Structure 1
Amino acid sequence: MRRVLAYLLRIGGSIAITAAVVVQLQRSITNEGSGQGEVGFVIQNFFSFFTIESNVLAAIVLFVGIFTLSGRPEPRGWSMFRAAVTAYMATTGVVYNLLLRGIELPQGATVPWSNEILHVVGPAVMVLDWLIAPGRRRLHAKALWGIVAFPLLWAGYTLARGVMVLDPRTDKPWYPYPFLDPNTSPNGYYSVGFYVVLIAMVIGVVGSGVLWVSRVRRRAA
């Protein structure tokens, strides 16, 4: 029964997330109406959102998982990758619904149903898949370093890109989220640093929970 439910989650989740990403990208490109070569900049920005990157990874994990679901334990590296993406998606859901819901992000007009899939449905599917799908490996606490590495690299990339790349429409630095923009944050880089540390802590806590679940389920089995 768990395997059947996991199949349904992975098939439905991969289709829904892919559709949500594609439709929102199309809307963002369509809204770029200046015709002055800025579409490429919009596409680069779109894939600079942690939400989009997490959902793309989630769609890959769910799609590949359709073909790897069996009664045998999956490769440890794949379990580690699944754990990391699950932590990213769960964090995306938590951060968005606590800090960003109701705020218009600089990605063009938001497609409502796509937005809900990317920030609510997708994270829920990944968490459920981690909880019920058979085959995952027992992961130790030291694997947390691998989980937090990508978000920290993403934060560094985002801050560096914001300084070096100007939005051709406004001639101002571009940041995917308001709380990462030192030019509009109340205390500049101090506020940005606070939020980076806060998000890292949230990912660390969520990642620790994901790893703990893998060990509890393995012992229960």
Structure 2
Amino acid sequence: MRRLFGVLRLLAAAAIIVAIVGQFANSLSMVPDPAAFVVNFFSFFTILSNALAAIVLLIGAWYGLRGVSEPDWYTFARAAIVTYMTTTLVVYNLLLRDISLDQATTVPWSNEILHVWAPLYLLLDWILAPGRGRVPWSRFWWIAAFPIAWVVYTIVRGAIVGWYPYPFLDPAIEPGVGYRGVTLYVIAIASFILLVGSAIVGLSQVSWPYRAVDPPVDDEAEERGERVVA
């Protein structure tokens, strides 16, 4: 079963990479300022979270195909990425589905992979894939570290260059509301991220659908610090 999910993770990572490259190439061919576009493109939370998801999936595929258990650091990283991708899924479908990238035309199939299918796979992988470890509640708040850093970067850079990746982060969108409106959106989304994160961490405490048992260890793998699962 681990090896099956190893293959699925490879396929999912490949789909995400193809979707990012497809959107990037299409947009780059249409913008007047390629240098500014590259920075803007990789300032989208969707692009960053999907890129991180692809990396996490590739690492997880390596563990799965080798049949070794996942270390604690990877379990936490995976929990954080699942949280970000689930947030992307919900925020996109509630707030952004009808909004195209302002610097170029959105590629429909890429858009659906990055905002719908990839997040759904990451969530199902977290629920169903064997080998999920327990994430200590003491690490829960660290899940919010990346989104907080991204918001600070976005607001500061936006004030300097006058560009924001999402309209709800632009204080000039609604005259008279400004940063007060942005703050309300940020608080709402941050609260949702913490809510999703608590659910993801909570799921890690549950042994379903697999019993939480220590996998067998072979001598050679133990010397390398790895546990091999039958």
TM-score by length of 1: 0.90
> Runs of at least 4 residues of structure 1 off by over 4 A?
none
3-state secondary structure, aligned to 1:176? coil
1:178 maps onto 2:167 in alignment: yes
Please tell me the residue identity of whatever aligns with 1:191: G
Give the C-alpha shift of residue 5 in structure 1: 3.9
Contact 1:9 1:129 in 2 (8 A): no
- Distance (whole Å) between structure 1 residues aligned to residue 204 and residue 67 of structure 2: 16
Contact 1:86 1:130 in 2 (8 A): yes
Match of residue 217 from structure 2: none
1:129 maps onto 2:122 in alignment: no
Report the count of equivalent residues. 209
Give the C-alpha shift of residue 71 in structure 1: 5.0
Match of residue 28 from structure 1: 27
1:163 maps onto 2:159 in alignment: yes
Give the C-alpha shift of residue 72 in structure 1: 4.5
TM-score by length of 2: 0.86
1:58 maps onto 2:53 in alignment: yes
1:201 maps onto 2:183 in alignment: no
Where do 5+ consecutive residues of structure 1 fail to align? 166-172
Where do 5+ consecutive residues of structure 2 fail to align? 213-230
Give the C-alpha shift of residue 94 in structure 1: 0.5
How do 1:1-221 residues align onto structure 2 when only pairs under 5 Å count?
Answer: 2-32=1-31, 34=32, 38-69=33-64, 71-165=67-161, 173-185=162-174, 187-217=177-207, 220-221=211-212
Match of residue 219 from structure 2: none
Report the structure number with the largest CA radius of gyration: 2
- Distance (whole Å) between structure 2 residues aligned to residue 93 and residue 185 of structure 1: 25
Please tell me the residue identity of whatever aligns with 1:212: G
- Distance (whole Å) between structure 2 residues aligned to residue 5 and residue 72 of structure 1: 13
Give the C-alpha shift of residue 129 in structure 1: 1.1
Contact 1:71 1:135 in 2 (8 A): no
Per-residue CA distance 1:134-183 (angstroms, 9 max, x = gap): 22221122222111111011000000000112xxxxxxx10000000001
Give the C-alpha shift of residue 27 in structure 1: 1.1
